[in-house]
A and B are shown apart, each in its own frame.
Chain A
Amino acid sequence: MTHVATRSAEQIAADFIPTAVYFSDSDCVEYVNEDGFAIYSRVDEFLTLIFDETKIRLIGFKLKGFKYCFENHLKPLFDLNDSQFLALVPVIEAVCTKLGERLVADDERARAYKAALKLAANDNVRLYGGLYGARAA
């Protein structure tokens, strides 16, 4: 019991790693840059922005329905396999391109995508190990 408690204590005290991860059973990629309270704000069927408790400061985003999007639009486009990392800026850009005029016509939605793009670029957000989120070597 002592051994388990010690391992648990070490694991729970380790530094947070701000990395995008894929959740296969909810089919979404999520990125947050801090381990704290998070509020999810739906933008549309693909994008959710994540804010801190102030509901003002953007701390992350969630890309939903990622398997479908990856298999049908991104894998051929980027010629990816599961052992590579996937930078998320071109992924969001590809979705913006697909949305096209619908995004241009909706200011609020366009601003949300720009905010996600900016965060992904500033934080150099990548999904390691393709869909499976295995840690990079």
Chain B
Amino acid sequence: MTTWLNVPIVLAPSADDRSKTVQYGVSKVFVERNTFINRRTPILQLWCHLAGKPPPINNISRVFEHGLPPTLTTLHDSVACFQGVKRPHNDEKDGNSILVYVLNPSVTIVYDPDLACVAKAMRVPKNTVLTVHVCVSDPLLAEHSSLNGIVTRLEYVSSGADEPTLPFRHQTRYIHERWRTQ
């Protein structure tokens, strides 16, 4: 797998105790399926918003040195952690084991090639937050005992006007609120 597709293991605050750090791998399925259709934006966003590093692609320094640089975050910058996605998820009727971390990057990165670089910075639309889904019961975890879960999805969702840092209707959207910073 080429370097930019090899997103490193990420560190995160535990859902059980925010003061403790856990390790999550990034889903190979997520990367491979997106690569299969040449969809690069989610992978570029994994680098910036989970790994906290610019993606290792040609001339990426231009994106960071000119204009608005994409916000570099890790899951330690999460403002909240929820659990349970209220929908069937493989053998779970309500996706009860899925964790959802919420990040608030102000500038993101998208695939938008020009002669210098294939990526471009983009301001995140108002009232939009980034959610990161983590599967803690993935069968692959047995092979990687140092990991506490697998990041399976990265999705921007709308936030509410009254709580702009959290997903819209988070009270009913998820089963449990594990913690939040504010």
- Interface contact B157-A40, CB-CB below 8 Å: yes
- Interface contact B29-A35, CB-CB below 8 Å: no
- Interface contact B35-A69, CB-CB below 8 Å: no
Q: Which residues of B approach A to under 8 Å, CB–CB?
A: 2-5, 27, 29-30, 33-41, 57-58, 86-90, 95, 108, 110-113, 118, 122, 125, 128, 133, 135, 138, 140, 150, 152-153, 155-158, 173
Chain A to chain B: the 5 pairs with minimum beta-carbon distance, closest first: A65-B88, A45-B87, A8-B2, A26-B152, A40-B155
- Interface contact A64-B156, CB-CB below 8 Å: no
Tell me the complex Cα distance, A42–B169, Å.
10
On whether A36 and B111 interact (CB within 8 A), knowing A21-B37, A53-B122, the answer reads yes
- Interface contact B88-A25, CB-CB below 8 Å: no
A-B contact count (CB 8 A): 120
On whether A64 and B111 interact (CB within 8 A), knowing A21-B36, A23-B33, A53-B125, the answer reads no
- Interface contact B58-A9, CB-CB below 8 Å: yes
* In-complex Cβ contact of A39 among B27, B110, B125, B153 (8 A): B125
Tell me the complex Cα distance, A23–B113, Å.
26
Among the listed stretches A11-19, A99-107, A110-118, which one makes contact with chain B, having 4 or more residues with CB under 8 Å of it?
A11-19
- Interface contact B157-A39, CB-CB below 8 Å: yes
- Interface contact B2-A26, CB-CB below 8 Å: no
Classify chain A: how many residues form its interface, as a range: 35 or more
Which residues in A have their C-beta under 8 angstroms from that of B87? 45-46, 64-65
* In-complex Cβ contact of A67 among B40, B57, B90, B173 (8 A): B90
Tell me the complex Cα distance, A23–B34, Å.
9
CB of A57 closer than 8 Å to a CB of B = no
Which residues in B have their C-beta under 8 angstroms from that of A14? 38
CB of A5 closer than 8 Å to a CB of B = yes
